[in-house]
Structure 1
Amino acid sequence: MQTSDAILDRLMALHPKVIDLVLDRVHRLLDAMDHPETRLPPVIHVAGTNGKGSTVAMIRAGLEGAGETCHVYTSPHLARFHERIRVAGELISEPALAELLDECERANGGAPITFFEITTVAALLAFARTRADWTLLEVGLGGRLDATNVVVPRLTVITPVSMDHEAFLGNTIEAIAGEKAGILKPGVPCIVGPQQDSALEVIEYRAARLGAPLHVHGQHWHVAEENGGLVFQDETGLMDLPPPRLLGAHQVQNAGMAIAALRLLGRAEGAAAAMRDAEWPARMQRLSRGPLVALAGRAELWLDGGHNPAAGVALAEALGRLPARPTHLVCGMLNTKDVKGYLRPLAGTATRLHAVAIPGERNTLPAAETAAAARAVGLEAREAPDLAAAISEIVAEAPDARILICGSLYLAGRVLRENG
């Protein structure tokens, strides 16, 4: 049997586009595989622009805290593809992944299909063949035409919708919300996180047409920080909980969605575990070991993979909550992102930005362009040839700084691979 990496490399070449949002190819392959999507444990399907992964992580921690097992499908991965597929609580093994990918490749017979589509089918096949209590599916892009949107879920979740992936989802909040609301199904309840009014109107309209009951933040449930903890309230009553383990005010909102989901599923006993045990790498993650940490010396080293304007706002807020310390950004971004929109909220928080290109990423924005975008929004910026050079220069000038590597999940993945 070949390695999963070798098979994944071949699967990348089956379609000329990385993203091509139709469902015909997925349905064709699912039919050839005898429809694993119909044999899954109860599905919780999560869409939205920001907070999907963190919300999934908290729901998973809550369900596991209630004594149940979860299949989990998320994307993109950071260090290894295996991170995308968690079978009954465990990352998929290399032999199992290679076997599934080989099976899907043979069934596909060389027909055009995107990388995400065929690997999604592989994940569904793994989940259908292994017992678990729940299946958590995170949408890859959009919702309506996403490869995960082939299931009839027990529950859906729509996290906050904001501008991102406009080339594929539309250039207005209303259009993007319509794509995210494509995961709604007749009679299936949906937890709706905090939304702009225009986005919520679209979600409510779609839900009314389908008969999908909504449980909306600010209407049906409320969440807030209080006295160092978390307070959640819905029509069932009030819950006092520990604060989310994941940092940032936006994680309070994500926690609220996770708790609302657990309450609706009758698993409220897992709410404290959802706050206490959830882990989600590269979301305001403090790095504590590895060669980059050694290079930083006394400086704090943090990592975040957010990459759109809403993520920039959340990141600036999270930094503002930390003890005062000069903050230096090491930033690399893709050329498909709103770089100025992402960096603008950070201009009042950071001392300086060092721009880098993302190694090995063909769609990286050149360091010079990232630096120029930073200067345009009022951030002092320099260019650096790589991460190590940027960290070394910062430490030489500010040995007690807070250093945040940010701007892209692809850059975050590189950091996690190189830093061990």
Structure 2
Amino acid sequence: MTTTSRAAAEIDALLGRHPKGFDLSLERVLRLLTALGDPHLRLPPTIHVAGTNGKGSVTAFLRAILEADSRAVHTHTSPHLVNWHERYRLASGAGTSRLVDDTALAEAVRRAANANEGQPITVFEILTAVTFMLFAEYPADAAVVEVGLGGRFDATNVIPQPAVSVITPISLDHQSFLGDRVELIAAEKGGIIKPGVPVVIGQQSEQVALEVLTSIADRVGAPLCVYGEDFFAYEEHGRMVYQDDRGLIDLPLPRLPGRHQIVNAATAIAALRHGPYPPSDAAVEAGMGRVEWFGRMQRITAGPLLDIAAPGAEIWIDGGHNPGAGLAIAETLADMEERVQRPLFLITGMINTKEPVGFFSAFSGMARRVFTVPVAMSEAGLDPDELADAAIEAGLDAEPANSVEEAIRLVSTNWQAVPAPRFLICGSLYLVGDVLGRNGMAPQ
């Protein structure tokens, strides 16, 4: 948090009383929801989104297309980047939405905390109960709910009958909670698959992940829609082409940069075409242009960071932090490099549950230098010296820096070469959130 608010004060009080981390179980959140009158049973038609990479982007595409189709949509995402309020976007009319206001969030958090009566529970479980309280109290045509961690025992997985389940690409991440093999992680993500509920599976780079998800869907009787089999998308002549058994849609490229966003957009389109509100082609096209998702290949175009960079420099941020995300980011940077060549400098911070060598390996041969920095918003941040060693192990030149600002200055001071440098700040959503907050760019 970068600002003082009533809601932040209420949540800070929770953090002082309850564990901040994850203790995967549904018993506690179901008990709390019962005490609150079961708001999770009074939701509008809901799309439930799980996955390792891309679930936030798919959620953003779902909202953008539904709102372009004049639907009133609630959206839950996690984690937030700057302010707690980002997790709760409430429909404010046909095709419009807003972040929850501070008073409403503070009151909902207080009600949930009081209903819990001091019993053991995690903060995420209370905040998830708040999601369902808000979504049940405010009218909407639809809701989009992003999983927090995993799927099977995630606190969001109490919706008995979603309209559609979506699973985005799966790779290694959060191994201490979900398992150290892709098939184990896929089994956890696949826990959101429900009997009779259509499940849309995004592109999977690991065949074993697709096999696990398909097996779960077959076992519980969930209709399957799989990227590469039932739908797909590609870029052609500077446009995006989506195709499924209903035909082709010729679309502009998504506003979010990167080839992986074409796949994410296609996954969202497929989910909506299997849901209660199939959008018009015009709404899908409009959604490609209005979608926004903070902290994912986002360019910083103003503010104090740009002021200290070399004249003409580019600064990008991306919260990706696992090997799969590293590959997607590196591919996007390679496409940028084909269009406009610039020397690339990574500024990276990570927490100690990640695989830095795997992440950095994606940038081998691309980055001129890596600067490793502390993650100020997390006590679990990796030491910059240790992180620099991981980058060196991955074949990159690296050195620690005290801050993002110091890293930018180290490159920019006396920079006279043409073209100007391209910076990518990456490796942690905590780091990206801190950068956005200090640069005055909190999501609205």
Please classify the TM superposition score into its range, dividing by the shorter chain length.
over 0.9
The 8 Å contact of residues 262 and 271 in structure 1, kept in 2 or not, is answered as: no
Residue 211 (structure 1) aligns with: 221
CA contact (8 A) 1:169 1:179 kept: yes
> Which of 285, 300, 312 is 2:314 aligned to?
300
Give yes or no for the alignment of 1:69 onto 2:72: yes
Q: Which residue of 1 aligns with 2:14?
A: 11
- Cα displacement string for residues 133-192 of structure 1 (whole angstroms, at most 9, x for unaligned residues): 111000000000000000020001000111111111111111110111100111000111
- Distance in 2 separating the partners of 1:348 and 1:55: 30
Report the AA paired with residue 321 of structure 2: H
Which letter does structure 2 place at the counterpart of 1:122?
Answer: V
Q: Which amino acid aligns with 1:316?
A: A
SS of equivalent to 1:60: helix
Question: What is the 5 A alignment of 1:31-180?
Answer: 31-88=34-91, 89-151=97-159, 152-180=161-189
Shift of 1:388: 1.0
How far did 1:406 drift? 0.7
User: Which secondary structure state, in structure 2, belongs to the residue aligned with residue 135 of structure 1?
Assistant: strand
The counterpart of 1:402, out of the listed 408, 422, 426, is: 422
Kindly state the Cα deviation for residue 315 of structure 1 after the two structures are TM-superposed: 0.7
**Which of 178, 184, 191 matches 2:193?**
184
Shift in Å at residue 397 of structure 1?
5.4
SS at match of 2:424: strand
> Is 1:317 matched with 2:331?
yes
> Aligned pair 1:277/2:290, yes or no?
yes
Aligned to 1:378: 395
Cα distance between partner residues in 2 of 1:166 and 1:333: 15
Distance, in Å, in 2 between the alignment partners of 1:145 and 1:264 is 25
Q: Distance in 2 between matches of 1:16 and 1:49?
A: 23
1:260-306 deviation line (CA, Å, top 9, x unaligned): 12222321432112211110011111101111111114211111100
Alignment of 1:203-352 (within 5 A): 203-265=213-275, 266-269=278-281, 270-296=283-309, 297-322=311-336, 323-352=340-369
**In the alignment, is the contact (CA less than 8 A) between 1:353 and 1:379 conserved in 2?**
yes
Aligned residue in 1 for 2:94:
none
Aligned AA (2:331) = E
Q: How many residues align?
A: 419
1:54–1:46 Cα change, 3 Å:
same
How far the C-alpha of 1:112 sits from its partner, in A, is 1.2
**1-structure distance, mates of 2:415, 2:399:** 15
TM-score by length of 1: 0.98
Contact kept in structure 1, 2:377 and 2:431, CA below 8 Å: no
1:194 aligns with 2:203: yes
Q: 1 CA distance for matches of 2:414 and 2:182? A: 42
Per-residue CA shift, 1:13-71, capped at 9, x if unaligned?
Answer: 34346110001100000000000001011000000000000000001000000010110
Contact in 2 for aligned 1:330/1:355 (Cα 8 Å) = yes
User: For residue 418 of structure 1, what is the aligned residue in structure 2?
Assistant: 438
The code of the aligned residue for 1:102 comes to R
Are 1:248 and 1:314, in contact at CA under 8 Å, matched by a contact in 2? yes
Moved over 3 A (4+): 13-17
Q: In the alignment, does 2:372 pair up with 1:359?
A: no
For residues 280 and 155 of structure 2, what CA distance do their matches in structure 1 show? 30
The worse-fitting range, judged by mean Cα deviation, of 35-44 and 290-299 is 290-299
Check conservation: 1:14, 1:113, Cα contact below 8 A: no
Structure 2: how far apart are the matches of 1:232 and 1:121? 36
In structure 1, what residue type is equivalent to 2:126?
I
Change in Cα spacing, 1:286 to 1:143, as seen in structure 2 (3 Å) is same
Give the TM-score, by structure 2 length. Answer: 0.93
The runs of 5 or more residues in structure 1 that have no matched partner are none
State how far apart, in whole Å, the 2-side matches of 1:94 and 1:150 are. 26
Structure 1 CA distance, aligned partners of 2:84 and 2:24?
21
Q: Larger deviation: 208-217 or 389-398?
A: 389-398
Larger CA deviation: 405-414 vs 388-397: 388-397
